[in-house]
Amino acid sequence: MPFVTTRDGVEIFYKDWGRGRPVVFIHGWPLSGDAWQDQLKAVADAGFRGIAHDRRGHGRSTPVFDGYDFDTFADDLNDLLTSLDLRDVTLVAHSMGGGELARYIGRHGTGRVRSAVLLSAIPPLMLQGPDNPEGVPQKVFDEIKAGIVAERSQFWKDTSEGFFGANREGSRATQGNRDAFWLMAMDETIEGGVACVDAFAATDFHADLAEFDIPTLVVHGDDDQVVPFAATGAKTAELVKDAELKVYEGGSHGIALVPGDKERFNKDLLEFLAK
């Protein structure tokens, strides 16, 4: 299987499909690169090279106990891009992966990057506070961590409902969506599950977004029950110069997997890549 070894000896698994200009997909929490299989096929079929890695402690990458912070994630991404010598790259990131993308640009610049797509992404800041009243209260993050520690298998089954908006009337989310979420979540280390909550809750990406000097597409559902649009996507679209914003009416957090929204996102992504 293909792996890249990071500067600290962690093996990062990745898929590499197709030929052409590279499109690198960065998954959300608690998933793996498998979450992007539909998009990998879509871009490969359209003449691009699709690459998706498993974050450390997720999927088939090394199940380490530490390193679950955005500086480390960004440096892991840099190790992947440099090891494969990828250039003129479009980075596509979902949820927590949006923080990885933003911190990568903040730490490593855009020398290798052509454009960026932020899907249901956490920047600029998730945690509620005086300057971010639209954010998520600390109590919610504490409850998430407690749920993982108490009985993570059932916690992931329960969490899949809001992730895909399966609790909404008329939802197109399938049981297959929820089962796939559970399967990927169970491949994440329990320490990674807990530590990532602290990382994506409190990390501030304002300074990183200020370094964006590339075409950027922001896609977010207005019914995202995990990463509130008003605190994240709406603000990112204002902070990144000339960013393009697409709001999916009734869209859940799991846009790239839910039937209907998935096809719409794939179309929007391919149109953006063609520019």
Residues with catalytic annotation? 95, 224, 253
Would you state the structure tokens that stand for residue 31, as one six-digit string?
């998933």
Using the Cα atoms of residue 162, residue 164, residue 165 and residue 171 in order, give the sign of their dihedral.
Answer: negative
Identify the residue whose tokens are 């391919």: 270
Kindly write down the DSSP assignment for every residue of 7-76, as one continuous string.
TTSPEEEEEEESSSSEEEEE--TT--GGGGHHHHHHHHHTT-EEEEEPPTTSTTS---SS--SHHHHHHH
Alpha-carbon gap, residue 78 to 161, rounded angstroms: 33
Alpha-carbon gap, residue 46 to 15, rounded angstroms: 17
Identify the residue whose tokens are 């908006």: 165
What phi and psi values does residue 223 have, to the nearest 5 degrees? Answer: -120, 35
Tell which residue, 137, 101, 145, 112, has the closest CA to residue 236: 101
Report yes or no: 125 and 132 within 8 Å, Cβ to Cβ: yes
